[in-house]
């Protein structure tokens, strides 16, 4: 996880010093984005560790929050570089990105836990579920629903024929 979290941060630092060398900039970006792939072995797995029952919901919620930089970054970059397309302006953009990367990743590394959280349990232990229905009742309700649907379909077809 550390490689995936801080590898791209070092790539952003390196981007501040490539100046106008296109090949070097491309190489640094490729390595930084490649290192970012290592984040999935930690970040995605930690959601499963935190809550096996709600890992999908956690992923959806965390990815929703994670999209905020996707629409904030172009606005910030545009305001910094609009009419000021200089190496210095782009260094500022990369340093802001670096700061965001470091703060969020340090927060993650410090506060993440691999322990299953207490809210993972869908129902408190030793408390009977008031909505529990035995499988036989569920099957009876499904059969009633199928019969109703059959009758409704038959009446609709009969009405169309008349």
Read off the DSSP letter of residue 121: S
Residues 6 or more apart whose CB falls under 8 angstroms from that of 146 comprise none
Q: In the chain, which stretches have pLDDT less than 70?
A: 1, 122-152, 154, 157-162
Domain ranges of the chain: 2-120, 132-162
| Strand ranges inside 30-117, DSSP E | none
CA 25 remoteness from chain centre: 28
What stretch of H or E contains 107?
A: helix 87-111
| Strand ranges inside 6-156, DSSP E | none
pLDDT at 30: 93
Token code pair at residue 29: 């970006």
pLDDT at 62: 86
pTM for this structure?
0.66
User: In Å, how far are 66, 77, 78 from 71, measured between CA atoms?
Assistant: 10, 11, 11
SS3 content of the chain, % helix, strand, coil (to 5): 75, 0, 25
How many other CB atoms are there within 10 angstroms of residue 83's CB atom?
A: 5
């Amino acid at each position: 996880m550390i490689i995936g979290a801080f590898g791209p941060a070092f790539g952003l630092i390196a981007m501040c010093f490539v100046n106008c060398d296109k090949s070097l900039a491309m190489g640094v970006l490729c390595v930084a984005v490649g290192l970012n792939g290592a984040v999935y072995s930690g970040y995605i797995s930690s959601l499963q560790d935190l809550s096996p029952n709600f890992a999908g919901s956690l992923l959806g919620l965390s990815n929703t929050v994670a999209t905020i930089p996707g629409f904030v970054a172009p606005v910030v970059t545009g305001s910094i570089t609009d009419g000021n397309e200089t190496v210095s302006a782009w260094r500022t953009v990369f340093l802001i990105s670096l700061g965001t990367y470091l703060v969020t990743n340090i927060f993650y590394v410090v506060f993440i836990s691999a322990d299953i959280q207490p809210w993972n349990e869908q129902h408190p232990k030793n408390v009977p579920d008031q909505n529990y229905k035995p499988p036989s009742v569920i099957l009876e309700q499904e059969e009633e629903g199928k019969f109703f649907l059959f009758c409704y379909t038959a009446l609709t077809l009969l009405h169309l024929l008349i």
